[in-house]
Structure 1
Amino acid sequence: MPEAKVHRIATTGPDDVSGIASAIASGAISPDGIVAILGKTEGNGCVNDFTRAFSVHMLKAELSRHLPHTALDEIAYVMSGGTEGALSPHILVLERTAGQEIGDEQSLAIGRALTPALPPKDLGRLAQVEMVAAGVRAAIRDAGIDALSDVHFVQIKCPLLTSDRIQRAETEGHSTATRDTLKSMGLSRAASALGVAVALGELQLSDIDDTQIGRDMSLWSSRASTSAGVELENHEIVVLGMSRQWSGPLAVDHAVMADAIDVAPVKAALDRLNLGRDDASLVALLAKAEPGTSGRLRDSRHTMLDDSDISATRHARAFVGGVLAGLVGTTEIFVSGGAEHQGPDGGGPVAIIARRNGG
């Protein structure tokens, strides 16, 4: 019976692998058990944010001292750029180890899937929704999760369009959903999120058409978190849920914020995990941040969408990061900007991983 381990490691920059190197050297992390590495880097989170690719390169270089190249390529590397405000750069190393047979209690389960490369012509369209839905189903099977209701969070790293990728599609006689590389990030996040919704039964594929992707925010998933990057052309999918086929003291739960200051559902999830009581402790918090399309927050005007100097997603990361940090008492939280179809317009899903009973 496998056991999930989650290691939260602070970083001093996107090239800093000293923490994971030390954990491997001490035996705290077994390299051959690593399923995924999620990270927050201090880049701008936009198309030209190369801190994500730099971080992945450095992680692979360090892990190559312990793993063959084929194993390196099986790990999901989900780097999310942008640590605005007081968010702290860090990585989360998700590990699958041998556990013990311990009865009927559910424990944290981790699943992973890597899709084929997405043709640029399909980005932001139904073909991407279908590809991601198939990948999420594969990751759920990999996690050994039996019920879709036991899936609490799906973290996806998805591709974006570059001028070279657009030219490639057009040379082959195809159009792309947009020629704006920055807008392609939102369309890719949007289609990936809708793929999660289809895989989890929150939506049917027949509910969606190309014109709604990135536009109709009445369609959304309560458990999707997607992040686009230039460093890949496929999708790297990580599923977090609960399963009796796994052992260990870790548990995961989720909440959906209706807007950027809606902390009541997050507090309820913390209570369900007994955080703040007994001897349970916070291991990781992951969240989506979105300024919303109305330009208002509880009837008051905000200017996030009107700032020509700073992307609205950067404002949202800093704002939601501050709200959640004040709630849980740490700035080492994974807040990803751009929540198209990820929670209601202006809100977003949150996942909390906790260690129960002093385990």
Structure 2
Amino acid sequence: MTEAQSTKSVAYSMEHEAVYAVTAYNSQNENLPKREKSRNNDSYFTKVARGNPIGLPTGTHCQEYLAEWQCNIFQQDALQTKKSDEQQCLEMRTPHLMEFWPTLFEWPVFSHILKHGFAWLTFGGGISSTLFLFIMGGTESVKQAAPHIAPLLLFCLSIWLLLKTITRGSPKLKKDTRFFRRTGMVSIYRKGQDRLEIPFEEFEPTMTYRTGAAGSTGFMLQLTHRQSDIVISHINDYPEEYQVYLEWERLHQFMDISQPLPDRIVTEPARQFDPVTAEYDRKTGRPKHLWRDMGREELRERREAAKKAAKDFPWGKTRAQALASGWKPSEQRIDWKALEATRQET
């Protein structure tokens, strides 16, 4: 199939309700494989590579996806475009159909990381160094240092602009791991071979601990295959365990066709194209562009409340158990009267 034909096929799936395959993952299926607690016959190094099992109850319970570290006002800005929802979905690799985990060892991913790094050096470094010099020696100190700092900042700015130009649009990845909601399959890259497809239900979520060069510890989500030694690692590591649990919960909900898509800012345009999600939004009355049209102050309030709720969630319990123990979801942590007063002032 050519790229043009593939684009037409995706566009057609957006306009017509697609049918979920019989292999699609459904957490309500009573015949799902039971989770493993351990594999006693594994060697020490195999156990280390596989990581520690995440002992969470099946399903999604916290659901505070606004607490994800990448959710921010910049994602909201990206939604406020003249492009149609269909076009935005195509540029995001149709997020109602596929979730993907990239790998660092691929140029499109590495170039995006470099772009963000040079952006920080250009703007963050420029502002912080100027403030430091001003505090230490005033305006005269800034003037004296400017001829030495300016060339470096201009170099960083040039590299950032170049990377920003060449990384426009969706990255064309080949080595990524792909999760398909409508088929329930996980597609794994293999060098020199066709991609390997394995049912999502055959994987177990595990967590590994990573120690950086400076001694800081990070936590990483992995998926380990029950019947083989295949281990898939998420590209990000997180400073706190609850962030790994939330990442797993989001992926699980994405693949589970008994539930709507996770309610995230970046994938909001895609909700209408997933049959289960569209029906859920219709029944609950969720606005089509809830995140896109939300005020900045409310978005910040919701995000801070979501972060606190996710961090406080008693992971390992169901949502009903958490609520019974006194846990409060994010919507109960916001001072809605104060927020309404802020809206009226603006």
Q: After TM superposition, is the score higher than 0.5?
A: no
Higher relative contact order (CA 8 A, sep 6+): 2
TM-score range, shorter chain: under 0.3
Identify, as 1 or 2, the structure richer in helix: 2
Larger radius of gyration: 2
